[in-house]
Amino acid sequence: MRRSMLFIPGNNPSMIQNAPVLGADSIILDLEDAVSIDEKDSARYLVRNALLEIDFSGCERVVRINSIGTNFGYDDIDVIGRVKPDALIIPKATEEAVEEVDDLLSAIEREEGFKLGSIKIIPLIETAIGLEDVFNIVKSSKRVVAVLLGAEDLTADMEIKRTKEGEEIFYARSKVVSVCKALKVDAIDTPFTDVNDFEGLRKDSEKAKLIGMTGKAAINPRQIDIINEVFSPSKDDIEWAKRVILAYEEAQREGKGVFSLDGKMVDAPILQRAKNIIEKAKAIGLIKG
Amino acid sequence: MRIKKPAKAGTMESNDIYIMVYPNENGNEIQLDSIVLKQFGKQIEKVIMDTLKELEVENALVVAKDRGALDYTIKARVETAVKRAIE
C-alpha cells in the first residue's frame, strides 16, 4: 500500500528518526536533490546506518539514489543495497538505467545472501524520453513495483510552465497510469509543491486519483493526512462495495449469471471494482480482514 | 587506515554531531563537548572509539560537538570524517 510516499532529506538525522511516526505509508530517504554535492558521502553513510538501526514501524523504506550517470549513483547502490532497503528510486529513469541497477542489485543480493529480487525498483519518470518509454522501463525489470511521476523536472525538460492546476501534466499522468494499470504496478503522483496550500493539495490529489493514480509523493509531513484520506476508499465506497458483493453472493446462490443492484446491472468489471475497494480497505485497516 | 589530513563531518543542528578528525601521534584521543555530556558522555565516547576501531584507525584526534545525536548518526559522522581524512 503506497498511498503516501514522504521525501525525507538523507542528511538530516532529526527528520530521519522522526519519519516513522508521521503516518506515511512509505518513507523516501533522499540522497539526490535534497543533498548537496559536498555531502553525498555523509548522507549515504547516515541513510545506511538509519536503515540498519532505526525501526521504521512498518513504513516502506525507500531510498532515492543519485543517477547512475554520476559516480555517486554507483556508490549509493553499493552502500545502500547491502543493508536491504525495500526499494530504490531511480531518478531520470531509462530502460538502460533500470536494467543496470537490476544487475547491480542482483550481484549484491548474491554476495550478501539476500533473496534474489527482494530489493524493489521504483523508476522516477521525469524526462520526456522517460515518459515516452515508460512501458519498456517498467517491463525492463521484475523488481519494478511502482512508477513515480516527477512533474517538476518533466515540465522543465518539456520547456513548459508548471502550474497548480496541472493541466500541463494531464498527458503525463494519463500515460503513467495507463502503463501502470496494464503492467499491474502502482502509479504514484508527483508532489504538490506549495506546502501551505492544503485545499490545492486536496484538489490536486483528487484530480490524480480520478484518472487512476494510486498514491502521491509528499514533500512535507503536513501533506500526509490529506493524501492518505484522498487515496483511501471512502465510507460510501466501502458500503457500496459490501452491498455489491452481498448481492453477488445472493445471485450465485440463486444461480443467476447477472444481477442488478439499485436498478443497475452489475457485471464483472463492477464486481472487480467492488472487490478492489474491499481489498484496499482491508489493507489500510478500515475494515477487518 | 592512517589519518593523513584534518577533515570534518556532520552539523551543529539538533540530533546531529559535528566531528573533526586530526592526525595524532599518541593513538586515538577524543575531546567531547555534548549537551548530554553528564548523562551520555561515556556512551558517546565509546561509540566513537568503537567506530575508529572498526575502521582500523589508530592515530586520530577526534573533536566532537554533540547536539543529541543517536548512535547511528555518531557512527556515520565519524566514518565520513575518517574517510575524508584518509583521501
**Domain membership of residue A78 as a residue range:** 4-230
The domain boundary residue, chosen from A230, A258, A273? A230
Select from B9, B13, B72 the Cβ nearest to the Cβ of A49.
B72
Chain A positions touching B70 (Cβ under 8 A) are 13, 17, 53
Q: How far is Cα A7 from Cα A30, in angstroms, rounded to an integer?
A: 6
Residue B2 belongs to a domain: no
Inspect the interface and report whether the beta carbons of A45 and B73 lie closer than 8 Å. Answer: no
User: Is A289 a domain residue?
Assistant: no
Chain B residues touching A54 at Cβ < 8 A: 72
One domain, residues A162 and A27: yes
Q: What is the pLDDT of residue B86?
A: 93
- From A186, A201, A230, give the residue that closes a domain: A230
Q: Which domain holds residue B48?
A: 7-85
Q: Are A188 and A145 members of one domain?
A: yes
Q: How confident is the model at residue A200 (pLDDT cuts 50, 70, 90)?
A: very high
CATH number at residue B75: 3.30.230.10
B57-83 average pLDDT score? 97
Angstrom distance (rounded) from CA A208 to CA A205:
5
Which residues in chain B are contacts of A19 at CB distance < 8 A? Answer: none
Task: For B10, name the nearest residue in chain A, comparing CA atoms only.
Answer: A42
Q: Based on the domain organization, do A187 and A260 belong to the same domain?
A: no
The count of domains in chain A is: 2
Give Rg (Cα) of chain B. 12
CA-only gyration radius of chain A, Å: 20
Pairing of strands B17-23, A120-125: unpaired
Q: List the CATH number of the domain containing A103.
A: 3.20.20.60
- What is the structure's pLDDT at A176? 98
Structural domains of chain B, count = 1
Choose from B20, B21, B51, B80 for mutation: most chain A CBs within 10 A. Answer: B80
- Position A53 in a domain: yes
Residue B13 is assigned to a structural domain of this protein:
yes
On whether any CB of chain A is under 8 Å from the CB of B72, the answer is yes
Residues of B in contact with A52 (CB under 8 A): 72
Task: Tell me the β-bridge partners of B20.
Answer: B8, B63
Give yes or no for residue B1 having a pLDDT over 90.
Answer: no
B54 reaches A (C-beta below 8 A): no
Burial of residue A282 (CB within 10 Å: 0-12, 13-18, 19+) is middle
One-letter identity of residue A45: Y
Report yes or no on A77 lying in a domain.
yes
Same domain, A99 and A9: yes
What's the pLDDT score for residue A228?
A: 96
CB A240 within 8 A of CB A274: yes
Q: Which residue has the cell 529513469?
A: A93
pLDDT band at B56 (very low <50, low <70, confident <90, very high): very high
Instruction: Compare CB distances from B73 to A13, A41, A52 and report the shortest one's residue.
Output: A13
Query: What interface predicted TM-score (ipTM) does this complex get?
Result: 0.97
- pLDDT tens for each residue of A261-286: 888 888 888 999 999 999 989 988 88
Looking at the structure, do residues A200 and A267 belong to the same domain, yes or no?
no
Q: What is the pLDDT of residue B20?
A: 98
A254 vs A223, residue with greater confidence: A223
Average pLDDT over residues A23-37: 97
B29 in a domain, yes or no? Answer: yes
Nearest C-alpha of chain A: how many angstroms from B16?
6
- In a domain, residue B11? The reply is yes
Of A150, A204, A208, the residue nearest A174 (C-alpha): A208
Interchain CB contact of B87 with A (< 8 Å): no
- Chain A residues whose CB is inside 8 A of the B80 CB are 41-42, 45
Q: What is the pLDDT of residues A80-126, one digit of tens each?
A: 999 999 999 999 999 999 999 999 999 999 999 999 999 999 999 99
* Interface touch B80/A49, C-beta < 8 Å: no
- Answer yes or no: do A15 and A141 share one domain: yes
Is B13 in Cβ contact with A14 (below 8 Å)?
yes
Specify whether A136 is located in the same domain as A181.
yes
Look at residue A257 and tell me whether its pLDDT is greater than 80.
no
pLDDT of residue A289: 64
Pair (A175, A255) in one structural domain:
no
Report the mean per-residue pLDDT for chain A. Answer: 95
Residue B16 within a domain: yes
- Mean pLDDT value of segment B2-11: 96
Q: Which residues of chain A make contact with B9, given a CB cutoff of 8 A?
A: 42
In a domain, A221, yes or no: yes
* Beta strands at A264-266 and B7-9: parallel, antiparallel or unpaired: unpaired
Say yes or no for a CB contact (<8 Å) between B76 and A52: no
A215 and A246 both lie in a single domain: no
Indicate yes or no: CB of B15 within 8 angstroms of CB of A42: no
Domain assignment present for residue B1? The answer is no
Is B72 close to A42, i.e. CB distance below 8 A?
A: no
Q: pLDDT tier at A207 (50, 70, 90 boundaries)?
A: very high
What pLDDT does A96 receive? Answer: 97
A14/B77 touch (CB, cutoff 8 Å), yes or no: no
A230, A248, A272 - which closes a domain: A230
